[in-house]
Amino acid sequence: MKKVKALPKSVNRRKICLSALVFVIIILSGPVSFALDPLGPPAANLERGQHRIGIDYSQSKMDLQITEWKGIQYIYGAYETSGTVSSPPPLKDLKQRSDYINLGYSVYRNWDIFLRLSRTKAEFGDSLWQQAEEFESESVPMYGGGIKATFYEGDYLKIGGLVQANWAHYDGQLDTTLWETAHYIVMDFTEIQIALGASYMLLDGLSIYGGPLMHLVNGEIEETYVEEADIGGLGYWEWTSDIKEDSTYGGYIGSELEIGKKYAANIEYQFTGGGSAFCAGFIIKF
């Protein structure tokens, strides 16, 4: 891609400081939140055979649809009864905050592949049973990866797309002062993001990018607890359900700053009908 006339060094320094400041503000602001993974510029940005390593950050939240609660009750370890709760309320404002290590490699010209390793936490409150209950998971690993491709490249414009996925497992206590005993929650998620978009160079090294995206969530949730049964004896309850995102389609917009030929930083905002995210990243190419 051709470059426009280089800016004065003082302007470049101001751009770098501004990007660093925005990155820090995003990381330090807001509560722990839920997952839309960072996308970055939608087109491939490595030369053939080139590697990259970087850090990504995501702070977001979304609503999930619980399809149907399926419950089983045991008394003294023996099966007692079962039932379902159809059309339960959605799990509102499931939140996550994630820090990633990002590894990338260009297999062919205009084609990049990447892997992500992350530590992540999830939380929600007053949602499943609407009895002022709160859930917060332990910090757990999350794994992901994907591919980026460039479809068109001009002097200042790139058009491309990407597909990425991640896998996460959360567990922890769900509790409220209204219950005698805490409940135990286990959630497993597979998330897929598909995005198309364009990246346009505004100034030397400074680009804006964005486009439409699709966010797919497939997962399961299990809730268990033990307490005294109404008919006497120690009762064990188990509730399970499939879960999915409340809204699938959305978009994203961001900005990337190239610092020389080896370094780049970006910030972006993503949104769907059921969620939103602030993301930031920094990469080194070699």
Identity of the amino acid at 84: T
What is the torsional sign of CA 265, 54, 209, 96? negative
Position 3 confidence tier, pLDDT thresholds 50, 70, 90: very low
User: Which residue, 107, 95, 106, is CA-closest to 34?
Assistant: 95
User: Which residue, 116, 80, 65, 74, is CA-closest to 274?
Assistant: 65
Q: Which two tokens stand for residue 164?
A: 């990425």
8 pLDDT higher than 80: no
Given 1.10.10, 3.30.70, 2.40.128, 3.40.720, which CATH number is that of 9-285? 2.40.128
80 pLDDT higher than 80: no
Position 123 confidence tier, pLDDT thresholds 50, 70, 90: confident
| Chain centre to alpha carbon of residue 163 | 14
Q: CA angle 186-179-175, nearest 5°? A: 35
DSSP state for residue 182 in the 8-state scheme: -
Give pLDDT, residue 18. 47
Q: Domain limits of the chain? A: 9-285
Q: What is the rounded distance in angstroms from the CA atom of residue 143 to the CA atom of residue 119?
A: 9
Q: Dihedral of the CA atoms 242, 63, 167, 172 (nearest 10)?
A: -80
| Chain centre to alpha carbon of residue 241 | 21
What is the torsional sign of CA 90, 95, 100, 102? positive
Average pLDDT over residues 78-95: 79
5 pLDDT higher than 60: no
Position 231 confidence tier, pLDDT thresholds 50, 70, 90: low
Regarding predicted confidence, which is higher, 150 or 73?
150
74 pLDDT higher than 90: no
Q: What is the mean pLDDT of the chain?
A: 81
User: Which residue, 220, 176, 174, is CA-closest to 64?
Assistant: 220
Q: Give pTM, 2 decimals.
A: 0.76
pLDDT, one tens digit per residue, over 23-40 is 444 433 333 333 578 898
Contact 97, 59 (CB under 8 A): yes
Position 229 confidence tier, pLDDT thresholds 50, 70, 90: low
